[in-house]
Each structure stands twice: as structure tokens, then as C-alpha cells.
Amino acid sequence: MMPILLWSLFSGLVFGAGLTVSRMIDPSKVIGFLDVAGDWDPSLAVVMIGALAVTIPAFALLRKSGKAFLGVEIRMPDRNDVDLRLILGAVLFGIGWGLGGFCPGPGISALAFGLTKPLVFVGAMVVGMLGFQLLAKNNN
């Protein structure tokens, strides 16, 4: 079990450092990308291209191998359907992302600054997730 914890921690560190280096941890950079009618900043698109340049070939290779190097099974999602849930969820998420300039990763990484605003965002996000899970549970 320990190796999985260490590799997860290390992956999280590299991910968080990547968000910091690319400045996606800064909501004004993200909003600069989303604001196409303003002084447009394409940085976020370059971040996506850089990330996909790694994940597309890596995931294709890993899907074939089927097993992670720590011996556990590779759990690559295989859903490919598009339903109303997906679209409605993406719309709500997009509105929230546009309002604050934070998506989940940068919001959590920005907790490192010890500022009030990221903490408020993450707190509200946790409440939203818990509320949704509670509702989903009651509906099942």
C-alpha cells in the first residue's frame, strides 16, 4: 500500500507544481483566457496542448499494457456516451469556473497561499459536492 501513497503524493506534487509554473493557479490568467472579448491570453490553450502531448501517447501505451507498474489494475474509464447529465454538469461547472476563475485543481493548489479567497472557494466546492452526493444517494 505504501508505494501507491508515495507515487500518488509525488504525482500530486508534480501536478501542483505544473499548475504553479504554468500560472493556472492564478484566476486572472484563467479569466484572461476565457475573456475572448478582452485582452485575450492564449496561455491556457498552450497548457492544454502541453499536457495532451504527454497524456495522449502515454494513455494509448498504458491502455495496451493493462497493468500499472505497482502491480494494480489500470482503471481507465471506458464510458463514451453523451447524456443530459454530462451536458448539464458541464454547463454548471463552466458558469462557476467563469465566475471565480478557479477550477478544482488550481483552487486546491491555491490553498498553499493561506489566503481567505481560495479557502472560501474550496469550502463552497466541498459543500456543493457533499450536497450533490447526498441528493444522489436519496434518489437511488
Partner 1 sequence: METFTPVPALIGGLMIGLASALLMWSSGRIAGISGILGGLLSFDRAQFGWRAAFLVGLIGGPFLVSEFGPGIVPVTIDADIPMLVAAGLLVGVGTRLGSGCTSGHGVCGIGRLSMRSVIATVVFMGAAGLTVYMVRHVLVMGGV
Question: Please, which of residues 101-130 interact with partner 1 by CB under 8 A?
Answer: 101-105, 107-113, 115-118, 120-130
CB-nearer residue toward partner 1: 60 or 138 = 60
Integer Cα distance of 49 and 23 in angstroms? 15
The 3-state DSSP class for residue 54 equals helix
Closest distance to partner 1 from the beta carbon of 2 (Å): 9
The reply to whether 139 sits near partner 1 by the rule CB under 8 A is: no
Integer Cα distance of 128 and 118 in angstroms? 15
Candidates 64, 73, 138, 140; binder of partner 1 (CB under 8 A) is: 73
Integer Cα distance of 68 and 58 in angstroms? 12
Integer Cα distance of 134 and 34 in angstroms? 32
x/- site string to partner 1, residues 19 to 48, per CB under 8 A? Answer: xxxxxxxxxxx-xx-xxxxxxxxxxx-xxx
Candidates 77, 138, 139, 140; binder of partner 1 (CB under 8 A) is: 77
Type and span of the H or E element at 21: helix 2-21
The reply to whether 64 sits near partner 1 by the rule CB under 8 A is: no
